[in-house]
Amino acid sequence: MENVSNTDKLESIKSFQSTIRKSEKALAQMTEKGANTTLLMKRLKALNIGLAMLENVWNQRPHHYSQEELAEAHNVLISLFPSMENIYAKSKAGSPQRTLLERRIKALELAVQSTFAP
């Protein structure tokens, strides 16, 4: 974690913030439609914890999460990799989507490292 460049740190934090915003919009739309939001709420919590942990490690910002919450977030973040890697494999080289996915995957990897799974 200490060998991460400032550029990667900034891109990772921005990636998490963007993913959280998109998830919050999706949650609002799903709630409006009366859809089941349990999974999305679980992922959104994990994303917020991941962002908090990155900011804790890199910017010494305190967090209020328990070891149990960190472990759950760790597992949820890990569960996001297969679908993201699948989408990445289907994306065109050099496309904006692929660049976005590369940053998102890198941010997830760093957040998983920072959640210190048991």
Please give the structure tokens belonging to residue 38. 């349990």
Query: Looking at the predicted structure, is the pLDDT value of residue 25 above 90?
Result: yes
pTM over 0.85: yes
The band of 2, judged by pLDDT with boundaries at 50, 70 and 90, is low
Please state, rounded to an integer, the average pLDDT across all residues of the chain: 93
| CB-neighbour burial class of residue 94 (10 A; exposed 0-12, middle 13-18, buried 19+) | exposed
Q: Which two tokens stand for residue 108?
A: 């997830």
**Neighbour tally for 71: CB within 10 Å:** 15
Interatomic CA distance for residues 83 and 53, integer angstroms: 23
Give 92-110 pLDDT, tens digit per residue.
Answer: 999 999 999 999 999 999 9
